[in-house]
Amino acid sequence: MLLSASSSYLLLIFLGYSLRILREYERGITYTLGRFTGVKGPGLIILVPGVQQMVRIDLRVRTIDVPSQDIISKDNISVKVNAVVYYRVVAPEKAINNVADFMRATSELSQTTLREVLGKHELDDMLTARDKLSADIREILDQNTDQWGIKVSNVALKHIDIAESMIRAIGRQAEAERERRAKIISAEGELQAADKLVEAARKLNSDGGAMQLRYLSAFQDIANDKTNTIILPLPLDLLKKLG
């Protein structure tokens, strides 16, 4: 009876060391005498105690909160940028066998890639083309983490912080640009008006009837005025006849 109880106890210990249950989103990287022998799961996994070992790995989407990085833009403006990276393990054997800590490695690579990509662009691109820059970063990360069995699904730039002094400088630059454009538009308007006046003068000079109509129009405008004194312009040909 004592032997039977001991056997049952030993059997329970054996089962405790040899049975593993993996959830749907988990996989087990198994090793036999230290040699990689396959990926198991999900479900019930039986291991030989002392001979086989297993490392669990989660296949669900993970996130990396990339801390703020000091970046010098292409137009020499200092900014701080942080981002979030979404990724998941698609090849568990690579994630365990090819890199010591795939989560830390992906995080470090995300930081360096963020600095390298954004440092090649001007501040305007960072502010107006976030989606494109995020896609570029995601593509580079996805290519470099493929050897680790990682799939980067999305990268989102969260905040782009600019120093207060630089914000004021950008505001002054924008104001100067608006004034420059306003002066150009005003000058172009004056040039067009001058061209029209020259064209009208030429036409009036070549057509006497048109000149008379212009005199009548001017007289009507003066007559509608409430001033007491009216000065009528006389045509030059009439003055010559009077002389």
pLDDT in tens, 49-81: 889 999 999 999 999 999 999 998 888 888 999
Give me the amino acid identity at 204. L
Would you say 96 and 27 are in contact if contact means Cβ atoms under 8 Å apart? no
**CATH code of the region 62-162:** 3.30.479.30
157/83 Cα distance (integer angstroms): 4
Distance of CA 163 to the CA centre of its chain: 19
At 81-135, the pLDDT tens digits run: 999 999 999 999 999 999 999 999 999 999 999 999 999 998 888 888 999 999 9
CA distances from 169 to 71, 81, 173, 175, 230 (A): 18, 19, 6, 10, 56
Q: pLDDT (tens digit, 9 = 90+) per residue, 173-207? A: 777 777 888 888 888 888 887 777 777 667 656 65
79 burial type by CB count under 10 A (0-12 exposed, 13-18 middle, 19+ buried): buried
Q: How far is CA 219 from the centre of its chain?
A: 64
**Could you report the per-residue pLDDT of 12-44, keeping only the tens digit for each?**
666 667 888 999 999 999 999 999 999 998 999
pLDDT of residue 134: 94
Q: Does pTM top 0.75 for this prediction? A: no
The domains of the chain are located at 8-58, 62-162
Q: Please give the span between the terminal C-alpha atoms of the chain, in angstroms, as a whole number.
A: 153
